[in-house]
Amino acid sequence: MIFKEDKSTAPGINIVEKGTENGTVTDKDGAFKLTVEDPDATLVFSFIGVRTQEFELKGKREIFVTLKLDCNKDFFDSNEVHVYANSGVINNPVGGQIDVASPWIFLGVIKGSYAYQTNLEDNKMQTGQLELAHSISNCDFDIDFRWNYRQVNFDNNLDFSVNSFETDLNLRKVKLIAGYSRLDFTKIETADNKKLSGLSIGVGRYFNIPLHPTAILKVGLYKDKVEYQASIQGGHKRFLCFLKFYKLDSFNELSVGIGTGFGYRTKKGKG
């Protein structure tokens, strides 16, 4: 008998013939012997931290069982406020960002984010996001739903905004992203205005190294335009940082942010 996650042996697992008190435990090698009353009996495997599992013998005299670890998920991204000072290295040197995450509710964790950058003249870039995180969740994966908004005024020529509706499938350390985007693009110099629909796809990866960064790459595909978004974001304790890249048509920006975060608690209502 082994654990599915790391293929290690499973010692000390309780085994009981279902409906009886006939049972045993596995030895240090994950092996066991049990004389059953019925050759078609069902064996029940259980232990603290392990998912209870049933196995129908169906006359078998030797079996091999793979157990899964149980999990109680803690959503450490809830009850948080993050505040950043950020700077666009290329076009918009002054800016800031704030992120707020709600407590966990029966639907998940609600997150809101807003960022603004400018050159203190005509250029500006702002982004907003509203996300329902962990709305569908179990031990192996969870799913997030998100609305994302980007708006740029650049060089008195480009004026565009993008609305995206995305879904994240989070599989342990890997994130898969897919969604629909709507681009409203205006080039003032040529009086060119386009309203385009497109597909958003992306991938993310969490790294278990100092600052615990998460890297994300997304691409928006439209009829004659491609939108690029890339970011790497992490932190340690109250220190937070990120590096983000954005490009659409002739506009591109590399943003660096440094910030801090703190948790908060809500008062429980009286029962």
Structural domains in the chain? 2-67 (2.60.40), 80-263 (2.40.160.40)
**pLDDT at site 267:** 67
First-to-last alpha carbon distance for the chain, in angstroms, is: 46
Q: What is the pLDDT of residues 213-250, one digit of tens each?
A: 999 999 999 999 999 999 999 998 899 999 999 999 99
Q: Structure pTM?
A: 0.75
**pLDDT at site 178:** 98
Rounded-to-integer distance, Cα 52 and Cα 37, Å = 21
**pLDDT at site 15:** 92
Q: Residue 248: which of 158, 177, 165, 146 has the closest Cα?
A: 158
Sequence letter at residue 26 = T
The residues, any chain, with a CB within 8 Å of residue 155's CB and separated by 6 or more, are 122, 123, 250, 251
* Longest CA–CA separation in the chain, Å: 86
**pLDDT at site 71:** 65
**pLDDT at site 17:** 92
Apex 217 CA angle, 215 and 218, nearest 5: 145
**pLDDT at site 271:** 35
User: Please, what are the averages of pLDDT over each run of 10 residues along the chain (271 residues)?
Assistant: 76 91 90 91 86 88 83 75 96 97 90 97 96 85 95 95 97 93 94 94 92 96 96 94 96 97 72 35
**pLDDT at site 246:** 98
Q: What is the pLDDT of residues 63-82, one digit of tens each?
A: 888 887 766 666 678 899 99
Rounded-to-integer distance, Cα 161 and Cα 153, Å = 9
